[in-house]
Amino acid sequence: MDDIDLRIIRELQTDGRLSNQELADRVRLSPSPCLRRVRRLEEAGLIRGYTAMVDQVAYGLPITVFVRIRLERHTAEAVAVFEEHVALIEHIQDCYLMAGSSDYLLRVVIESLEAYERLVRDRVHAIPGIASIESSFAFGSVKQSRTYPRPAHPR
């Protein structure tokens, strides 16, 4: 990955709807080499897809909850069971395996506090092997970025 590839990736993260001509102009390439580079980045898995950014509140999911989960046991089976269940709950947008006092950090988007209570009671509590659940509610967003910073040493 060279400087041009990094510029292509950054431009597409900023606006995934750019035409190839617009992208080529922004990264100072002619359209054909630009398209070849984009396809190569897609084939290599660096660009995994394109999506629309949707306003969470306008969409009807105004509440963001960060949920820290601690498991009772850390066996391969307990971890697999937890992760399989989490993958099936669509309100869970992100699930991170953590170091420290919590095993997982989840980001949940939901319609209301009542809906969150139902989600925890009906879906999360049903997952075997959970020792504790701790929820923190976000009351605002200071920054949300979908554009990665430039790596110090590109691959």
The b-or-e profile of 110-123 (16+ CB within 10 A means b, else e) is beeeeebeebbeee
**pLDDT surpasses 80 at 50:** yes
Same domain, 23 and 61: no
pLDDT at 60 over 90: yes
Model pTM above 0.85: yes
Check whether residue 20 and residue 70 sit in a common domain. Answer: no
Domain with 33, as residue range(s), is 3-43
Q: Does 28 lie in the same domain as 60?
A: no
Summarised one tens digit per residue, pLDDT across range 66-98 is: 999 999 999 999 999 999 999 999 999 999 999
What's the CA gap between 57 and 92, in Å, rounded?
A: 16
User: For residues 92 and 86, is the Cβ–Cβ distance under 8 A?
Assistant: yes
Taking Cα atoms as reference points, which of 47, 12, 45 lies closest to residue 27?
A: 12
- What integer pLDDT is reported at residue 63 of this predicted model? 98
pLDDT surpasses 90 at 155: no
**Section 103-111 average pLDDT:** 98
Per-residue pLDDT, 89? 98
**pLDDT band of 27, cuts 50, 70, 90:** very high
Q: Are residues 23 and 85 in the same domain?
A: no
Q: Which residues pair with 109 in a beta bridge?
A: 64
Query: Could you report the per-residue pLDDT of 1-23, keeping only the tens digit for each?
Result: 899 999 999 999 999 999 999 99
Q: Assess if residue 148 is contained within a domain.
A: no
Q: 48 lies in a domain?
A: no
Could you tell me if residue 8 is inside a domain?
Answer: yes
Residues 100 and 76 in one domain: yes
For residue 153, name the pLDDT band (cuts at 50, 70, 90): confident
CATH of the domain at 71: 3.30.70.920
Are 60 and 133 members of one domain? yes
